[in-house]
Amino acid sequence: MKPNNTSHIFERYRQYLRLEKSFSANTLDAYCKDLDKLRNYLSGENIDMLEVSLDDLHHFIASLHDIGIHPRSQARILSGIRSFYRFLLLEDYIESDPTELIENPRLGIRLPDVLSVHEIDTIIASVDLSKTEGQRDRAILEVLYSCGLRVSELCNLKLSDLNLPEGFIRVEGKGNKQRLVPISPRAIDELTIYFEARSYIQPKHGHEDYVFLSFRRGTKLSRIMVFHIVKVQTELAGIDKTVSPHTFRHSFATHLLEGGANLRAIQCMLGHESITTTEIYAHIDNQRLREEIIEHHPRNIKYRREHGIG
C-alpha cells in the first residue's frame, strides 16, 4: 500500500473527480463537503481513514441520523464516501473497500408529478402568441417536452447545435458530455416559426449563437426565466400540479416508456450518467435510437395522424 499522507490523498482525490470524472465545480465541492463530515467524525473518534471498518461506518451513519440528517441526504453522503473509498482502492491506498457492504438508508417513495399529454398541450396552448415573446415561449415549452432537456441544456442550446433537416440536436449535458437528441417535427415547426421573430433581436456580443434569447436584453435566457415561463403558463392553463421545467423532462420519459420505447434508448437520450459512457453509445446506433424515439413519441404519433402519414 502507498504511504498515508492525508493532505496529498485528498488533493489527488479532488484531481480525480475533476479530471477523470469530469465533475463540475459545484458537484466536486458537494462531494468534498460530504466527505468532510466523515473526516470530522473519524478525527473525533481518533480513527485513521485508511483503517476504517464497516462498524466504524455504521456508527458514522448512526451519528448522521442522531443529528437529524434526512435519509435522502444520508444516502447522498454515502454515495460520496463510496466514491472516495473506490478511489483509494483503485490507487492502492487500501486493500479492501469498507463501504462494499453498506446499505443505503430506506427512503420513502416520492414520485414527481407527471403531466399527461393533454396537460402538456393545454400548457403550451395557454401561451399568448400576440405577445412579442409568445412564440419563443411556446417553442421553449415544446422543446423541453419533445427533447426531454434539462433546463440548463435548453438555456445553453446553440444554433450551431441544431441539425433540423436531419432531425437531431446536439446537447451538452452534465460533465460537458455531448449527446445527439432526436427532435420531433412538432418541435421543429415551433422553432422555425420562432426564428422569424428571433431575426429581429439584436443579440449582445457573445450571445449570437444561443437559440433562446431575451427580447429585451439580447442575451441568452437564464434558468430563472425558464422556470418563470413554466410557472406562469401552468397557472394560466389551470393545471393544479407542482410543475417545473424538470416536470416536462420527466413526463417526456414517462410517456415514451408507456408507449413502449426501449428503456436504454430513453436513458441514453436523457443523458443519464450511468449510461452515457462511450461503451453504451457504441452499442446503441444513433439512427436506431432516433427511429425508436420518433416511432413512440406521442408528439410524432399525433403529427402522423394530422398529416395522414402512415
Q: 245: which residues sit within 8 A by CB, 6+ positions away?
A: 144, 150, 151, 154, 226, 227, 230
The Cα–Cα gap between 272 and 174 comes to 9
CB 17 within 8 A of CB 23: yes
Q: How would residue 106 be classed by pLDDT, with cut points 50, 70 and 90?
A: low
Q: How would residue 259 be classed by pLDDT, with cut points 50, 70 and 90?
A: confident
DSSP state of 50: G
Q: How would residue 236 be classed by pLDDT, with cut points 50, 70 and 90?
A: very high
Amino acid letter, 146: S
Q: How would residue 2 be classed by pLDDT, with cut points 50, 70 and 90?
A: low
CB 162 within 8 A of CB 274: no
Q: 112: which residues sit within 8 A by CB, 6+ positions away?
A: 246, 247, 250
> Can you name the residues that pair with 210 across neighbouring β-strands?
158
Name the grid cell of 132.
412579442
DSSP state of 204: P
Q: What is the pLDDT of residues 35-89, one digit of tens each?
A: 888 888 888 888 898 888 888 888 888 888 777 777 778 888 888 898 899 999 8
Question: Given a cut of 90, is residue 137 above it in pLDDT?
Answer: yes
3-state DSSP assignment of residue 180: strand
Q: What is the pLDDT of residues 184-229, one digit of tens each?
A: 999 999 999 999 999 999 999 999 999 999 999 999 999 899 999 9
pLDDT value at position 111?
Answer: 52
Burial of 43 (0-12, 13-18, 19+ CB in 10 A): exposed
The Cα–Cα gap between 297 and 294 comes to 6
The Cα–Cα gap between 230 and 239 comes to 11
Greater pLDDT, 91 or 299: 91
CB 97 within 8 A of CB 83: no
Question: Given a cut of 70, is residue 251 above it in pLDDT?
Answer: yes
**Long-range pairs of 227-233 with CB within 8 A, sequence gap ≥ 24:** 227/151, 229/137, 229/140, 229/141, 230/123, 230/141, 230/144, 233/123, 233/124, 233/126, 233/127, 233/137, 233/141
Active-site positions read: 150, 174, 246, 249, 272, 281
